[in-house]
Chains A and B, each alone.
Chain A
Amino acid sequence: ELKVEQNPLFLSMQEGKNYTIYCNYSTTSDRLYWYRQDPGKSLESLFVLLSNGAVKQEGRLMASLDTKARLSTLHITAAVHDLSATYFCAVDRGDNTDKLIFGTGTRLQVFP
């Protein structure tokens, strides 16, 4: 069964702290995506990771991909309240269908 698991599911962190969200997957894909969703809103693309060892950074967020371990991480540096949202990773199924499997999501809350 193709699965994408994120942990933690919920994360409450203080402003200024660092933390990492993990995304484990079981497909053989080399393509992984991170999205952000604010409450009641749609999904916003954050990162596209297309190969083993890929690392991308935008502001306080950095994403990496290890295809051998089938693991991606989303690292948060010096969190601020505006980062509060739900973060999803999604993985290509690896069967040339261009369909994605989404993770369970990590709900992040940053408090002062």
Chain B
Amino acid sequence: EADIYQTPRYLVIGTGKKITLECSQTMGHDKMYWYQQDPGMELHLIHYSYGVNSTEKGDLSSESTVSRIRTEHFPLTLESARPSHTSQYLCASSENPSWEQYFGPGTRLTVT
């Protein structure tokens, strides 16, 4: 069973606020990912990391930033939240490239 955690699970915040979405995994996986998913739609990769101090942008342009200072921790930050950032954010991790990505429970963000 995969152990990957995200906090908060739900967040309602006003425009212009800075927010950080937390993602942690206890499996020692090197690879971690952030996806954005609108309701009923497919997932879009916005950030990924191959290991400590390695981060890259994904396929979908995002105003968010990420950091990877520790293997187990991959937080996502929005410096100034906007209503267009309203979405679900899913964090995932994987170990071997032939194995599936394990997903966290997600953070549902609403920016008013």
Residues of A within 8 A of B (CB): 31, 33, 35, 40-45, 48, 50, 86, 88, 90, 92, 98-105, 107
Contact = CB atoms under 8 A, between A and B. Distances in A.
Contact of A100 (B98, B101, B102, B108): B101
A35 B105 CA distance: 14
Contacts of A43: 43, 90, 92, 103
A9 B97 CA distance: 28
25 contacts: A33-B101, A40-B108, A41-B105, A42-B104, A42-B106, A43-B92, A45-B101, A45-B102, A48-B98, A48-B99, A48-B100, A86-B40, A88-B43, A90-B43, A92-B97, A98-B50, A98-B97, A99-B45, A99-B48, A99-B59, A101-B59, A104-B42, A105-B40, A105-B41, A105-B42
B98 A42 contact: no
Contact of A50 (B45, B48, B98): B98
Contacts of B59: 99, 101
